[in-house]
Amino acid sequence: MNESTGKKLLMTFLAFLLGCETCFSGVPVPNVKLTLITVSSDTTYISPGESGSESYTVPLRVEFCSSLTSDDGREYVLFPEWQVTRSYTDGDTPKSESYLKRQESNTEYEFTDWGNFQVTFSWSYRDKDSLNTIPGYDIAPMGFVIDDSEVKLFNAFSPNDDGINDDYRIYVRSIARLEIAIFNRWGQLIKSISGKTEDILTPEDEATRDADGGYLINCWDGKHNGKVVSDGVYFINVKAIGAGGKVYERKADINVLTGTGIRR
């Protein structure tokens, strides 16, 4: 290669780089974010590639916001598409579904279902003075979890057939699966329950449903081998999976007081 040819190749390469720089500088940049607003007006902002740092409860209002900026002084038209996918557990079965699709730059939606939600933003654009639409580059997805599940354990009951607090119950809401084990002070298993919550619930349990959709589940009548146990302290271990995937491991003492009627 002679010197003249080398100079020509160098000039061609520099012209190519200059052209690329001009091309890249003309690509508008999308500004994308989610704003999560709870019932108590607590606000969380989520950018591409991020997920909410906690589980949220329903109803959850989500604002979807997008716009374009550019450094070439030109005006561009944005064509956005938001897609929301919901993953959740139905009993023991994992499920996933297309949940929401919107094509506005800025929109909002109130979520009333639980689950793991992934939001993807795809886009294209065109110069205001052009009819040619250009696909945009990939934007990292955003995510958040809605899980309004709850487990509450109580610490005493009186299995003496006086009609007041005769059975030991736990409170659950939006729980998909339960494992319950009750032991005496020597570690002997007294009672165990395991399975899908919908299979564990009795008609009596379902009758306790409250306005939030929670139930009092009857776990123990205070008997072992057909006889009411002695007064004293017993122990309960509960493992549960919320409908949105949240895992619970709870332990508590149970005071059995057959001589006392206790109103919860």
Q: Do domains 27-146 and 150-256 have the same CATH topology?
A: yes
Type and span of the H or E element at 32:
strand 29-37
- How high is the pLDDT of residue 26? 64
Residues paired with 237 in a beta bridge: 181, 251
Mean pLDDT of the chain: 87
How far apart are alpha carbons 230 and 223 in whole angstroms?
9
pLDDT tens digits, 86-138: 998 776 678 899 999 999 999 999 998 888 999 999 999 999 999 999 999 99
Per-domain boundaries in the chain: 27-146, 150-256
Whether the predicted pLDDT of 232 surpasses 80:
yes
HSE (side-chain half, CA atoms, 13 Å) at 152: 9
Task: Report the pLDDT averaged over residues 213-232.
Answer: 94
Fold assignment, 150-256: Immunoglobulin-like (2.60.40)
pLDDT tens digits, 13-70: 433 333 333 344 568 999 999 999 998 899 999 999 999 888 888 789 999 999 999 9
Question: 241: closest CA among 189, 198, 208, 210?
Answer: 198
Q: Is the full-model pTM beyond 0.75?
A: no
Q: Using alpha carbons only, what angle is made at residue 149 by residues 147 and 154, rounded to the nearest 5 degrees?
A: 155
Q: Between the CA of residue 46 and those of 35, 38, 40, 43, 104, what are the distances in Å?
A: 6, 14, 18, 10, 18
CATH 2.60.40 fits 27-146, yes or no: yes
Phi, psi torsion values for 226, nearest 5 degrees: 85, -5
